[in-house]
Amino acid sequence: MNSSLSRFTFFLFFVSIFSCTKIATTNIGTGLIPPADGVITKDTILEIKTKNAGYDSTSVGISDNHILGYVNDVVFGTTTASLNFQVAPLISGFSWGIDKSEVVLDSVVLCLAYKGVWGDSTQPLKVHVYTMDPEVVFKNDSSYNNTRTFEKGQEISEFSSGTTIYPTILDGVDTTEGYYKEVTTSQIRIRLSNSFGQQVINLDSANAFINDSTFYNYLRGLIVEPDATGHSLLQVNLTDTTTHLSFYYHSRDLTDTLTRRFEANDLTSANCNTILRNYQGTQIPSYIAGTGTNDDEVFMQTSPGTYTNIDVSSIMGLPNLIIHRAEILMYQIPDGDSYLTPPNLFLAAYKPDSVYSFAVPNDITFYGTSISNLTQFGVYPRLNSSTGTYYYSFDISRYVQGIITRSDTLFNLRLTAPYNQYIYTDQTYTYAVPIAAPSLNTVGIGRVRLGGGNNSQYKMKLHIVYSLP
């Protein structure tokens, strides 16, 4: 009798604390909520705290997509993305195919493999091409941070005012003018000055063209830099076969029409994707520098961008429950710029005294050296068709269950929009694996403003579906 009374008293106490209601219908946690078998299934909302914590940086692998362009974002400030890379002849012992004295140059075109656009593709971009200062140290065995810039040599764009790129027609057809006709698609084509082309032709063949390493001594690298115009970032791949520096020419007697291509080599060419973020005039610096512990807005930008810390210590107040689903729900605050779409996000655990992040215990599944359950974990934005905004749902069910039933360690959580980051498999830092392969996001592309734990309308929260044991 006393035992029955105690259980009844605990039940009333628990219900009064969490104000829970039996779930009639839900679209959250499908397949996890028990069927109608007499089990009373309830849900509750727990408070969480959010803090915009800082900025990150990155370097881009030569074979990954780079970005080029300019974005002026009223929420996240400006982004200026430039390309720095080396090209060289495809083969050692390069020649022009005819005697140099017989070469008549038609045109020189820098061709970049186009892989997509992020932002407003209706607004044109303008870019300039420069040679890199020959005194610059630029080597393929160095990894260059996104904030690195390089001294420019001469501008080699055909027009000093730059080349205008119209993203909406990059998937169309372009024909190179001159004696040599070439039809191309999905390629950015930037006409360079013939004076630059002639300088390359006039190089001492016996020394400059021995191999790609010697050629880099004569042409240290190319810099492609945008003006502060437009509102988009173009995705470019440097090692795609459609990226090359093309020389179109003919012989003086018109018996030969020829072309030669110089390309980036993923083993010998240096590269750097300079991506400069400027947050001046935005709210972001004040949020990150602020001393508050629970921000009402969270600013998430793909690396190189921002990250946020999330405090879920409210879990510690839960009694022993059967957790069917525990999810952190995050909602986009609309800002009117539908061109700048949200990134994929990743949630990790970390210790305050460590710079390393590791997998959320029990809820990240590894298969070999990769994560196999990113979709189930919830990294991808979901569109709410009724509002036109996005939301995220991170499943941390097993993590919560372990804390309340086995007294597992409660960790701080960190939210990022990673490009090519690695994560440790657990808190012992045994070994690190890539979060995703290929990368979870293209470098620099994607941003979203989310409601924080202190937001009245777009509140970030921990939603738990449970039943009593």
The answer to whether 41 and 465 have CB atoms below 8 angstroms apart is: yes
pLDDT on residue 29: 43
Asked if 41 and 183 sit in the same domain, the reply is: no
Identify the band that residue 27 occupies on the pLDDT scale cut at 50, 70 and 90.
Answer: very low
- Nearest in space to 220 (alpha carbons), one of 260, 266, 271: 271
The answer to whether 28 and 393 have CB atoms below 8 angstroms apart is: yes
Asked if 380 and 358 sit in the same domain, the reply is: yes
**pLDDT per residue as tens digits for the range 381-440:** 999 999 999 999 999 999 999 999 999 999 999 999 999 999 999 998 888 999 998 999
At residue 330, what is the residue type? M
Asked if 350 and 435 sit in the same domain, the reply is: yes
pLDDT on residue 178: 44
Identify the band that residue 51 occupies on the pLDDT scale cut at 50, 70 and 90.
Answer: very high
Lowest mean pLDDT among 7-16, 311-320, 325-334: 7-16
The answer to whether 110 and 155 have CB atoms below 8 angstroms apart is: no
Residue 11: inside a domain: no
Asked if 394 and 376 sit in the same domain, the reply is: yes
Residue 65: inside a domain: no
- Using the CB atoms, write b or e for 388-416: b if 16+ within 10 Å: ebbbbbbbbbbbbbbbbeeeeebbbbbbb
| Bridge partners (DSSP) listed for residue 191 | 109
Q: Strand 346-350 and strand 412-416: pairing?
A: antiparallel
Asked if 233 and 346 sit in the same domain, the reply is: no
Residue at which a domain ends, from 217, 244, 278: 278
Residue 6: inside a domain: no
Mean pLDDT across 441-461:
98
Identify the band that residue 38 occupies on the pLDDT scale cut at 50, 70 and 90.
Answer: low
Mean pLDDT across 290-299:
96
The answer to whether 129 and 190 have CB atoms below 8 angstroms apart is: yes
**Which residues have C-beta within 8 Å of that of residue 71, sequence separation ≥ 6?**
78, 79, 119, 230, 231, 232, 233, 340
Percent of the chain's residues with pLDDT above 70? 88
Asked if 353 and 336 sit in the same domain, the reply is: yes
SS3 call for 289: helix
Residue at which a domain ends, from 278, 300, 332: 278
Distances, alpha carbon 33 to alpha carbons 99, 323, 325, 365, in Å = 78, 9, 8, 21
Asked if 97 and 232 sit in the same domain, the reply is: yes
Residue 116: inside a domain: yes
pLDDT on residue 4: 43
Cα–Cα distance, 262 to 145 (Å, whole number): 25
One-character DSSP codes across 221-253:
-EEEEE-S--SEEEEEESSSTT-EEEEEEEETT
Domain that holds residue 136: 77-278
Cα–Cα distance, 209 to 262 (Å, whole number): 11
**Which residues have C-beta within 8 Å of that of residue 288, sequence separation ≥ 6?**
52, 53, 54, 55, 306
Asked if 261 and 180 sit in the same domain, the reply is: yes
pLDDT on residue 355: 79
Residue 363: inside a domain: yes
Q: Which helix (H) or strand (E) holds 2?
A: helix 2-18
Residue 67: inside a domain: no
Asked if 239 and 299 sit in the same domain, the reply is: no
Residue 446: inside a domain: yes
- pLDDT of 185 > 90? The answer is no
**Which residues have C-beta within 8 Å of that of residue 436, sequence separation ≥ 6?**
370, 371, 374, 418
Asked if 173 and 245 sit in the same domain, the reply is: yes
Q: Which two tokens stand for residue 32?
A: 């996890």
Residue at which a domain ends, from 243, 278, 313: 278
Terminal-to-terminal C-alpha distance of the chain: 20
Q: Which two tokens stand for residue 272?
A: 């750097």
Asked if 216 and 110 sit in the same domain, the reply is: yes
**pLDDT per residue as tens digits for the range 216-241:** 999 999 999 999 999 999 999 999 99
Mean pLDDT of the chain: 89
SS3 call for 89: strand
The pTM assigned to this predicted structure is 0.89
- pLDDT of 34 > 80? The answer is no
- Does residue 185 come out as left (phi exceeding 0), alpha (psi in the -120 to 50 range) or beta? beta
Neighbours of 316 (CB within 10 A): 10
Identify the band that residue 171 occupies on the pLDDT scale cut at 50, 70 and 90.
Answer: low
- Does residue 196 come out as left (phi exceeding 0), alpha (psi in the -120 to 50 range) or beta? alpha
pLDDT on residue 93: 82
**Which residues have C-beta within 8 Å of that of residue 278, sequence separation ≥ 6?**
77, 78, 79, 80
Cα–Cα distance, 465 to 44 (Å, whole number): 7
Domain count, the chain: 2
Vertex 222 angle, CA 246 and 171, to 5° = 55
Distances, alpha carbon 441 to alpha carbons 64, 146, 228, 296, 325, in Å = 11, 16, 24, 26, 27
- pLDDT of 22 > 90? The answer is no
Distances, alpha carbon 55 to alpha carbons 143, 278, 308, 368, 418, in Å = 19, 12, 9, 30, 12
pLDDT on residue 169: 64
Asked if 457 and 387 sit in the same domain, the reply is: yes
Identify the band that residue 184 occupies on the pLDDT scale cut at 50, 70 and 90.
Answer: low
Site of tokens 């701080």: 412
Residue 373: inside a domain: yes
SS3 call for 11: helix
